[in-house]
Amino acid sequence: MSLAAVVELYRASTLGERRPIEERERLVAMLRHANLVITAWEGDQLVGLARSFSDFAYCTYLSDLAVRVSHQRRGIGRELIRQTQHHGGRAQIILLAAPRAVDYYPRLGFRHHPQAWLLGPDDPLA
């Protein structure tokens, strides 16, 4: 799977609007260090991707879920999550929903957690 194919998918799914796809080095690192990546293909076209980090025992952080707009609402996203859950062993999946996907995850059975916290790379640690 080439970097260009991933960038193209991120654009074609709209996820590219919220991921640093113009920053090549950062994107390369994002792909190199993810340790649970599930992909969906139609022929040789990449149509969906779930990019996660898992310890395969306790937690899986699902960072990016993207399905090409032309292929959405066919169950591909659900299957990508199913495979991510399956390959994560006993890990629970944790994620942040994009604004357009806030109604998606509860529909699939995800529980909302009101105590999630974020600290950005440049946020001062008090």
Ligand X SMILES: CC(C)(COP(=O)(O)OP(=O)(O)OC[C@H]1O[C@@H](n2cnc3c(N)ncnc32)[C@H](O)[C@@H]1OP(=O)(O)O)[C@@H](O)C(=O)NCCC(=O)NCCS
Neighbouring C-beta atoms of residue 91, cutoff 10 Å: 19
Interface region with ligand X, contact rule CB under 6 A, candidates 29-37, 53-61, 74-82, 116-124? 74-82
| Spatial separation of the C-alpha atoms in residues 39 and 72, rounded to whole Å | 14
Which is closer to ligand X, CB of 90 or CB of 100?
Answer: 100
Shortest separation between residue 109's beta carbon and ligand X, angstroms: 11
Per-residue string for binding with ligand X, 29-68, x by CB under 6 A?
A: ------------------------------------xxx-
| Residue 7 φ then ψ, to 5° | -60, -45
Query: Of 107, 111, 112, 113, which one interacts with ligand X (CB under 6 A)?
Result: 107
User: Which helix (H) or strand (E) is 80 found in, with range?
Assistant: helix 76-87
Query: Which residue is at the shortest CB distance from ligand X?
Result: 77
Shortest separation between residue 11's beta carbon and ligand X, angstroms: 11
Residue whose C-alpha is closest to residue 77's, from 44, 108, 100, 45? 108
Q: What size, in residues, is the chain?
A: 126
- Does position 72 interact with ligand X (CB under 6 A)? The reply is yes
Residue 122 CA neighbour count, 13 Å, CB half: 0
Q: Which residues bind ligand X (CB under 6 A)?
A: 13-15, 65-67, 72-78, 97-98, 100-101, 103-104, 107
